[in-house]
A and B are shown apart, each in its own frame.
Chain A
Amino acid sequence: MATNNPPRLSRRAVTAGLVPAVAAALLLGGCGGSSPGTAAAKEGGAAADQNGPGEGGRARAAKVPEATTYTTVKGAPEDASPGGATDGLVVNPAESVPVLDRPDGRRIATLPATQLGGPTWVPVVETSGDWRRVLLPSRPNRATGWISGTGVRTARTPYTIRVDLAERKLTLLRSARQVGRWKVAIGGAETPTPTGRTFLMATLTRDEKAPSPIVLPLGTHSATLDTFGGGPGTVALHGWPDASVFGRAVTHGCVRVPDAALKALARVPLGSLVFIDG
């Protein structure tokens, strides 16, 4: 737990301390970041557009943010059992749906049907009548919200991913049975990988020669870096060309995994739970 809320570094300290590292990461293509700033600007524009004709001009919707990796959802109830397993239920809204702070409660966000160019799949962590409590991809970490169970596609994923920060290992489980276990690189002392229950948010590929052909962003963010490489500080699972990093705490929050792990993880359904234990 201590690693979950480390003292927030001042912006200046982060900038000063990480300039060489950030520069190096960007030269390498970062871990997913080749064009810092542009992606964020693009998504920000899309979010601001939600009052346009495409969304039907929802006056109230404009007052709450879209729940994406780029936003902060205020008033989102915190995940009550960050270590708790579920039966693997995941949901995909057919269209943008309101996110409430409790069943029948106050609207705190809008969950879009797609994000990062793919479908939004979020895990259900609690059910009450027709209401589903889901993990949100937004800040703050462990943000949850309630959506109506009508008008959403449901599916069940047998997969869970466990990252053991103490052991520096990642385990992939199918129906609670281990199907793979690999040594991984985790966040360094000043930029720890955040703990808790999160989920596989997207499966991204990129054209360019990057350190990783596939990047798997999670629904959680670095607690110490407000932004990274122009992005919102999203934590991801991804590959790394230098195998010597596996088993070490050297990253800015991401979990770098070997090729075999990346190959297996890229087939895990979106919305599958990821448990990060300190």
Chain B
Amino acid sequence: MRYSHAVRGVLAAGLITTGLAAGLVTAPASALATAPQGAAPQATVPQGEGSAYGLTASGPVSVPPVPAVSSTTETVRKSLLREESTDLVKASALDVSASAARARSTVAKAAVPAADLMADAVTAKCRGGHGSAHLARAVIAGKRLDASPPPNTTIPVDVEGVGRTSLTLNKQERMADGRLAVTAMELRLPLPGKPATIRIASATCGKSGPAEQPADAPAPTPVEHDLPVTG
């Protein structure tokens, strides 16, 4: 597959207009704001936890997961009217919800212009440790994508000026804590210098095992640097 549009121009435009402004429709921050004090409480007893986000990008342009919810109890929802803080990836109407047993993320009008990727709606669902993805009118470079792709369907894509990239549909992976993460679309762009990864519609659910212990913090290496401090 070859594409003739000006990928470099689009990417360059995307790189200078990043940010996180977007219209927040509802913000039921209760589940987020009432989290207990103290860092990373350790899960000693396996408990159900669902979490979901609309989209995220990492690499030269970073977009933290928005909107994002997680819950170990009742259903928490969040919606975002638009996400267009970067030209790299855009979407309108991002809806996410999560409860202890399930999670769901739907992103409407998703587009990655650099890869000529568009979809009317992208949905990831996770329930009871099982996941699925649904794509409504999803097209990459004029080619229609399977509406219900099997888990971990990978499609190679050649993007002019960027090179060979890969698009993974219905990506299902086991997280470090034992839960299942379903990401409806994951696109890797080998941008010069720094590869970018864009994920659209992701839902995670299942019972988490004992939290993985972080490694011991390293002893510091002294560095030569002048900082005048208050004597």
Contacts and interface: CB of A to CB of B under 8 A. Distances in A.
B221 A30 contact: no
Contact of A59 (B17, B31, B42, B217): B17
Given A126-B39, A157-B217, A269-B220, A98 B20 contact: yes
A69 B227 contact: yes
User: Interface majority SS on A: helix, strand, loop or mixed?
Assistant: loop
Interface of B: 15-21, 24, 27, 29, 31-33, 35, 37-42, 51, 56, 58, 60-62, 64-70, 78, 85, 194, 213-231
Given A57-B15, A87-B38, A156-B213, A39 B227 contact: yes
Interface of A: 21, 25, 28, 30-36, 38-40, 56-61, 69, 80-81, 84, 86-90, 95, 97-98, 100, 102-104, 106-107, 116-118, 121, 123-132, 148, 150-151, 154-158, 187, 191, 200, 202-207, 211, 214-215, 217, 222, 225, 228-231, 233-236, 238, 251-254, 266-272
B30 to A, nearest CB: 11
B24 to A, nearest CB: 8
Contacts of B58: 150-151
A128 B35 contact: yes
Given A61-B18, A125-B39, A129-B69, A269 B219 contact: yes
A40 B21 CA distance: 32
A225 B39 contact: no
A270 B220 contact: yes
A107 B221 contact: no
18 contacts: A31-B229, A33-B228, A59-B18, A87-B38, A102-B32, A103-B32, A117-B224, A127-B41, A150-B65, A156-B214, A156-B215, A187-B230, A222-B230, A228-B229, A230-B228, A234-B228, A235-B230, A252-B231
Given A69-B227, A127-B41, A56 B60 contact: yes
